[in-house]
Each structure stands twice: as C-alpha cells, then as structure tokens.
C-alpha cells in the first residue's frame, strides 16, 4: 500500500502476545496483520509472504525474525515503547479497521441511519466505514486517546528534526 505521496508503507505482523497493540496501531493508520497461530512456521510464512515486520513479546521470535520486541504488559506502555520506533521508521496511512485491517472510507450520515445508537447519530457528523467487514467508526471518547498519541508522534518527529540539524 502507498500513502498520498507515494511512499511505501511498512507492514507489520503482531502475534498473539500483542493483539490489543496491533488493533490500536491499525486505528492509528499502520498496516498490521494479526496472526492467530502460535506455530513458528506459520509466523515465518506470513512474514515472508507479505514482507511484514514482526511485533511480539517473545524474545525468541523477535530475535529469530529480527522483529520488534515489546516488553511491557500494559497497552499504554506498549504504545509508549513502539511509537518512537515506528515514528523513526514507518510512514502511516489513514485509519484502518481495528478488526480486519482494511482502510476505512468516509461514510455519510444518511448511510448510518439505524446502524448506530440514536445519541451517536444525533451528535456525530463524520463517520467512517470498513468496506470489508461493515463496521462503522465515529469520533468517540477513545479518539481523545489517539489524538494525544498523534501529538506525541508529532513531538517525536520535531525532536528528531532538531537532533538532525
């Protein structure tokens, strides 16, 4: 996949030790496949077939496949570990479906009638839709969390620019 300025987006593979992290990274715009197998040959085949970088809590797998090792158990700390790494090395695209990794598309208010709670329909103007699984997304309270992380990413990028100069 390519972003709007035609730079190739790096793809990642999360194993079962970091499923929640993988879903958060999808929403942030990273292409993250989640493998539901603990069989090392399945992981190896997926890495090779899709040219993905492994994200795992397993020291053994991270070393074997030159992956990104996550040491924390808490999701917020996992994000604190990985976002500086990803900010350095990976471009991200637009938000992706947390469930199936498909890029989300804009969705009109008329199309969500009867598909979201009434209070959401009445209070939200912008919706996104997953064309693969049909899940509908909107800016809820969880967005504050992701906006904070986007601010952290921008700060990290600006600091890197200061260091390079």
**Helix-helix angle 75-89:142-164, to 10 degrees:** 40
| Counts of helices then strands in the chain (DSSP H, E) | 6, 7
Rounded to 5 degrees, what angle do the CA atoms 9, 10, 12 make?
Answer: 135
Which residue in this structure is represented by tokens 């790096």? 10
Phi/psi-derived region of residue 29, left when phi > 0, alpha when psi is between -120 and 50, beta in every other case: left
One digit per residue, the tens of pLDDT, for the chain of length 165 reads: 333 333 568 899 999 999 999 999 998 889 999 999 999 999 999 999 999 999 999 999 999 999 999 999 999 899 989 988 887 777 778 889 999 999 999 998 888 888 998 888 888 888 999 999 999 998 875 666 666 666 666 666 676 665 444
């Amino acid at each position: 996949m390519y972003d709007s300025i035609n730079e190739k987006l790096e793809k990642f593979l999360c194993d079962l030790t970091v499923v929640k992290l993988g879903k958060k990274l999808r929403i942030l715009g990273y292409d993250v496949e989640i493998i539901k197998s603990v069989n090392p040959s399945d992981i190896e085949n997926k890495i090779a077939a899709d040219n993905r970088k492994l994200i795992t809590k397993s020291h053994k797998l991270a070393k074997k496949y030159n992956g990104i090792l996550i040491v924390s158990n808490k999701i917020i700390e996992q994000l604190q570990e990985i976002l500086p790494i990803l900010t350095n090395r990976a471009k991200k695209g637009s938000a992706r479906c947390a469930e199936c990794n498909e890029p989300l598309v804009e969705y009109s208010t008329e199309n969500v009638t009867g598909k979201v709670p009434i209070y959401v329909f009445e209070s939200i103007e912008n919706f996104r839709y997953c064309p693969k699984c049909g899940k509908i997304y909107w800016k809820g309270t969880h967005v504050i969390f992701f906006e904070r992380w986007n601010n952290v990413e921008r700060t990290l990028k600006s600091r890197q620019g200061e260091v390079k100069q």
